[in-house]
Amino acid sequence: MKEMLSEEEMRQALFGTASEPTTSETPDSSVTSDHQHVSKSRKAPASLTPKLRVTLRVTRDFEGATELFTYDANTLSTLIAEQEAKAEAKKKKFKYFELISIKPIE
């Protein structure tokens, strides 16, 4: 068996004889849009979303023992971040809040 078969011989071996012979064309050396290199899309870093860290001093009783509560909000709005932090603290049964700081996270 031959090691180097022509394209037509390979077609005949795989698909049988063709009813009409095909002529082998040399590919055009010009680059078309179908043959251009397409780079793979890159994955974006995980932390592209803006985040703010809200720190609250919270307590369950008026003038009771206080705790520091931190919440990371996925927004640029400090008002929304503060509201989300207070809502999360309410879920944890805290009743009184004092805003300490709102800082952006890199």
Pure H helices in the chain? 7-15, 78-91
Q: Is 21 left (phi over 0), alpha (psi -120 to 50) or beta?
A: beta
Distance CA 95, CA 73 (A): 20
Is this prediction's pTM over 0.95?
A: no
Residue extents of the structural domains in the chain: 53-105
Mean pLDDT of the chain: 81
CA-wise closest residue to 78 among 44, 105, 41: 105
- Say if residue 73's pLDDT is above 80: yes
> What confidence tens digit (pLDDT) does each residue in 12-50 have?
888 887 565 555 555 555 555 555 555 666 665 555 678
